[in-house]
Amino acid sequence: MTVQMSIDKQLPSTRTTELDSICLKAEVIPVIAIQRIEDAVPLARALFEGGLSVLEITLRTDCALEAIKRINEALPQASIGVGTVLTPAQYRQAEEVGADFVVTPGTTEALYRYGVTSPLPMLPGVATVSELMTGWQYGYRRFKFFPAEASGGVKALKSFAGPIPEARFCPTGGIGINNAEDYLALNNVMCVGGSWLTPKSLVEAEDWEAIRRLAREVADRFHH
Ligand code: 3PG
């Protein structure tokens, strides 16, 4: 009882309004793993200029933090999420590089607790109703649904809306140009994310113009 009350007092820290304003800017969020630091700014710029202004840079590569710093400096109008955050220590690194929000693939009690105290809002990753209920208890109302396709996709999200209709999601994992629409049509989906905006072959070829065109096509098709 005491624990629950102290958590409830901190509910505003979970920053639902802030997450909503970020997600409203982007029906599609590119999920990016920067392999070569020199790609960071031109790649992010191509996506941004193509019309995708919210970018998730994952901590899956050695140069990720440096990449986020550089992108943040070069594109101050973009909203930068730090993805694949697994621990509170990585969450703190995201605060230090000046990101706008944090995304986690799954959740731990430690992350849920840390997120409530952090100045940076978190989009916690959930795949089940139980994970969602745990996040809900901590005050989280906005979630990443991951891995979306493997965890039941559109049907699972429709089912989540039964017991917890106020929760909103950004599904990622197995989403592409052909099924994004099915997700975006759901009332409890704010936006979708995925790596399909940064095809490996185009990044390796440094074909930023092709990535800009792809981003533009996606932005024109899915944005409000
Ligand atoms: C993520 O972390 O959101 C995923 O790796 C993106 O999944 P995708 O590669 O299937 O788009």
Distance CA 118, CA 116 (A): 6
Residue 146 CB less than 6 A away from ligand 1:
yes
Collapsed DSSP state (helix, strand, coil) of residue 157: helix
Cβ atoms 102, 94 nearer than 8 A:
yes
Q: According to the model, what pLDDT value does residue 11 have? A: 53
Q: Give the pair of three-digit tokens for residue 167.
A: 């929760």
Taking 3-state DSSP, the helix, strand and coil percentages for the chain, each rounded to the nearest 5, stand at: 50, 15, 35
Neighbours of 108 (CB within 10 A): 14
pLDDT on residue 55: 97
Taking the C-alpha atoms of residue 45 and residue 74, their distance in angstroms, rounded to an integer, is 8
Q: Which domains does the chain have, with CATH numbers?
A: 2-212 (3.20.20.70)
Q: What is the DSSP letter of 10?
A: T
CA 10 / ligand 1 centre spacing (Å): 31
Average pLDDT over residues 37-56: 97
The identity of residue 222, as a single letter, is F
Is 25 noted as a catalytic residue in this protein? no
DSSP-derived letter for residue 61 is S
The predicted model scores a pTM of: 0.92
- With a 6 Å cutoff on the Cβ, whether 174 touches ligand 1 is yes
Our answer on whether the CB atom of 125 is closer than 6 Å to any ligand 1 atom is: no
d(CA 204, CA 219) in angstroms, rounded, equals: 23
pLDDT digits (tens, 9 = 90+) for 173-221: 999 999 999 999 999 999 999 999 999 999 999 999 999 999 999 999 9
Residue 144 annotated among the catalytic residues of the structure: yes
Tell me the two tokens of residue 165.
């209709």
The one catalytic residue in 9, 27, 38, 56 is 56
Q: How confident is the model at residue 142, as a pLDDT?
A: 95
The helix or strand, by DSSP H or E, that contains position 203, with its residue range, turns out to be: helix 200-204
Q: Which of 118, 59, 62 is nearest to 88 (CA)?
A: 118
The finding on whether 195 has its CB within 6 A of some atom of ligand 1 is: yes
Tell me how crowded residue 6 is: count the other CB atoms within 10 A of its CB: 10
